[in-house]
Structures are given as structure tokens and as C-alpha cells.
Structure 1
Amino acid sequence: NFDMVEVRDGAGTDSTLLAVLTGSKGPTQDLFSTANEMTVWFFTDSEGYGRGFRANFTCGVDLGSPAPCAAHQFQCQTGSCIQGTGFCDGVADCPDGSDEADCVLLQVNGSGH
């Protein structure tokens, strides 16, 4: 028997489960909702008493999104920034290769004239 906090992305019990928290340690990372609602359920047993729990909530636009890159840079899908000259240059500069993902390679075969 134990106390538990369940966090879901959206409204209601059928929304996507983000985390189940137990014990004295909180989540190892922040939890973000992709919707405009988040469901937090607290379950407790009938044994003993404790100190309860503490939760901090922050709302806003684009929370959890990486800061934008400078104008001369390209933002990888991972959020990291590379020099703009590395975009579509045939070399994967982003850790996830996203700088080369949607590139089209045009090869021109000339006749030498």
C-alpha cells in the first residue's frame, strides 16, 4: 500500500499517461502537456499519514520547447543549433540528422559544352 500521483496529458482518465509518481522523489524531468489541459490524480491508502506532496504548475505558450536559434543558424529536431551553412550540405551535422532529412540533391549531367 502506498500513495501515488498519476499525471495525464489532457482531460480525463483515458488521456495519455505521462507519469506515475510514488515515494519521496519527484519526476526526473519536467512533465509537459501537449493539450490545454492536464489531469493529476492523487491516490492514497488508509495507512498512516505523511507529509503529503508538493506540485508546481506553470502554464504558458511553448513551455518545454527549446529556445530558438540565431538567424544564421539551423535548429535541429533535437533543439540544438548548427551553423546555417551545415543545412543540406550532404553532411549530417545535427545529432539526429535532421539538417539533411528533407534535402533534395540535384545532379546536373553536362555535355561539357
Structure 2
Amino acid sequence: FENFVGIEDHISKMSELLDLESEKVKMIGIWGSSGIGKTTIARVLFNRLSRHFQGRIYIDRRFVAKSMDIYSKNNPDDYNMKLHLQEKFLCKILDRRMIEVDHLGAV
């Protein structure tokens, strides 16, 4: 992914924004038109910076879309969808097969 033209400038700007030396929790957003390289930038950042963190996971749009598609066929309720996605997300993070969340406030 790192051989794309012009990606290095974006990666350095994003890395500066994250400031890994700081103890503060930081979050950045990447937005723009489709096809301009947002996912590529996110993957490169994750690959380069994830080693600095004890726990790390990369979840892309396909994971969320697949989870939502599977679950919405069974239960279209929005609250339950969020609950289900949080359970799937926690399973991935904690490397477990199943986690049960009783309500959204418990996470």
C-alpha cells in the first residue's frame, strides 16, 4: 500500500495529529469522496503505528457491512443491531468466539 503516489504526505500529517508521545486519547477522522485512498491511508497508518499499542484491531467497512447484512435479515431493530455489532467488535478485539452484552451502556 505504501507505494501509492502522494500517500506519504498524508501519512506524515496523520501521524503528527496522533502524537503517540502524548498520554491523551486521540481520534482522527478520514473523509472524502470515494476512491481517493481513505482506506489505504487508514491501513498504512494501522500497519505502521499499531505496534505502539497493547491492544489493536483493524475493522474495515466490509466487516461492518457483512455483520449488518447478516443481522438485519434476522432482526432489523436498530438498538439490537448496535448491540450485536458491539458484541462482534469485542469478540474480535478480545479474540473470543462469543461475548454477550446485556445493554449498550455496559460497554
TM-score range, shorter chain: under 0.3
Over alpha carbons, which structure has the higher Rg? 1
- In terms of fraction of residues, the more helix-rich structure is 2
